[in-house]
Amino acid sequence: MPQELYFEDFYVGQKFHSIGGAKVTAEEIKEFGQKYDPQPFHLDEAAGEGSFFKGLAASGWLTAAIVMRLRVQNITVAGGMIGAGVEEMRWTLPVRPGDTIHTEIEVVGVRQSTSRKNYGVVRTRTLAFNQNNEVVLRSTVNFLAPLREE
C-alpha cells in the first residue's frame, strides 16, 4: 500500500514521476471520441488525414483524463484527491495511437484553505510526455489535501 499523504507531507519542489506509462490505443481514442468529442479526427483514421491533425488524434480531454489517472496512481492523498480547479492547461502536441504517456508532477505551492479549515490546497505543475519525451500536455492544477489530525 502506498503511503497516504496529508497536507503537511507536501512541499514546494516535491516531484512525482509516474511509474510506468499509459499506452493510448486507436480503439480508446475512437471510443472516447464517440462518447465525448465526436469530431472526425477523433473517430476515424481516413477522416483524420484530411484534417488539422493530419491523422487520428486523441481528444485533448482524453489526454487530460489519462493524466488524471496517472496523477491518482502516483499521489495517494488521504481520503482521495479532490480537485480544486485548473489554472491552466495546454495541449502542446497531438497524442497519437500507440503513444505512451508519462507524467512529471511538481508541487509549486502549498497553502491552508480559507474556506475549508481542515484542508490545505496543493498547487501542482504537470508535464505529460510521450515516449519520445516530447511534452504533449502541461497544466497547473490545484487539489485539496486534509490536515493531519493532531
Residues that bind a second copy (CB under 8 A): 32, 35-41, 51-52, 59-61, 64-66, 68-69, 72-73, 79-83, 85-91, 139, 144
> Which CB, 13 or 69, lies closer to a second copy?
69
Q: How far is the CB of 101 from a second copy (least distance, A)?
A: 12
Asked if residue 66 lies in contact with residue 103, where contact means CB atoms within 8 angstroms, the answer is no
| 106 CB-contact burial (10 Å; exposed 0-12 / middle 13-18 / buried 19+) | middle
Q: How far is the CB of 56 from a second copy (least distance, A)?
A: 13
The Cα 28–Cα 30 span in angstroms is 5
The Cα 76–Cα 74 span in angstroms is 6
Closest CA to 122 of 141, 100, 136: 141
> Which CB, 106 or 138, lies closer to a second copy?
138
Q: How far is the CB of 113 from a second copy (least distance, A)?
A: 12
> Which CB, 13 or 114, lies closer to a second copy?
114
Sign of the C-alpha dihedral computed for residues 78, 32, 142 and 122 taken in this order? positive
Q: How far is the CB of 105 from a second copy (least distance, A)?
A: 15
> Which CB, 41 or 129, lies closer to a second copy?
41
